[in-house]
């Protein structure tokens, strides 16, 4: 891509679907963003092993991948909402009593738990195992999903650790 224009050499790239044709323009087809393309290929199982006996699980109608994609977006939006709410509460109660600060973390804990569930259930279990994403050399997102799961899990563990009460001189 050069100066916002798609080059002929980019047209066969499976990851070019989110490129733009100039400043302020829209993607060619909103359903064909790279992430949508990823979901579509995982659900259709079109790059799994050729003699795969699990291909009966494939969803190829078109509506299912749009529903899966929309569900992921709604799930991620809910996760972001709870995490931002928890961050706001945390900053607002940063110098409060330990019990107040601990309670202020609750929305963030909910958000991170939702995120862990998404990466583990939706991507690692459903995508990776049910739709056999691990068999694809092109559309295998299990490593990235595991990295996200591990990072979010570590953050969640650190967040739920109890906080000690601040000395009186530090509360000013």
Selected residue with higher pLDDT from 35 and 169? 35
Residue 149 falls inside a structural domain: yes
**Domain enclosing residue 157, as ranges:** 60-164
Residue 36: what pLDDT?
Answer: 87
Alpha helices in the chain (DSSP H): 34-44, 63-92, 98-104, 106-117, 142-160
Residue 45 falls inside a structural domain: no
Q: What are phi and psi of 145, to 5 degrees?
A: -65, -40
Residue 90, pLDDT above cutoff 80: yes
Total structural domains within the chain: 1
| Gap between the Cα atoms of 112 and 16, Å rounded | 31
Residue 134 falls inside a structural domain: yes
Residue 134: what pLDDT?
Answer: 93
Residue 128 falls inside a structural domain: yes
Span 140-149, pLDDT tens digits: 999 999 999 9
């999903």: which residue's tokens?
Answer: 145
Residue 68 falls inside a structural domain: yes
């991948």: which residue's tokens?
Answer: 65
Instruction: For residue 2, list its beta bridge partners.
Output: 5
| Gap between the Cα atoms of 45 and 133, Å rounded | 7
Residue 6, pLDDT above cutoff 50: no
Contact present, 45 and 132 (Cβ < 8 Å): yes
Residue 37 falls inside a structural domain: no
Contact present, 156 and 116 (Cβ < 8 Å): yes
């Amino acid at each position: 891509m050069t100066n916002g224009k798609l080059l002929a050499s980019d047209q066969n790239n499976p990851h070019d679907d989110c490129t733009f044709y100039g400043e302020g323009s829209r993607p060619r087809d909103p359903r064909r963003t790279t992430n949508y393309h990823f979901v579509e290929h995982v659900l259709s199982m079109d790059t799994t092993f050729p003699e795969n006996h699990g291909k009966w699980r494939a969803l190829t109608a078109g509506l299912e991948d749009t529903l899966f994609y929309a569900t992921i977006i709604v799930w991620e939006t809910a996760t972001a909402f709870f995490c931002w709410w928890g961050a706001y509460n945390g900053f607002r109660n940063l110098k409060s009593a330990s019990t107040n600060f601990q309670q202020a973390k609750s929305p963030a804990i909910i958000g991170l738990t939702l995120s862990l569930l998404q990466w583990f259930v939706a991507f690692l279990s459903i995508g990776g195992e049910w739709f056999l994403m691990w068999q694809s050399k092109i559309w295998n997102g299990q490593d990235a999903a595991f990295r996200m799961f591990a990072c979010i899990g570590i953050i969640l563990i650190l967040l739920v650790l109890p906080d000690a009460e601040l000395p009186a001189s530090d509360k000013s």
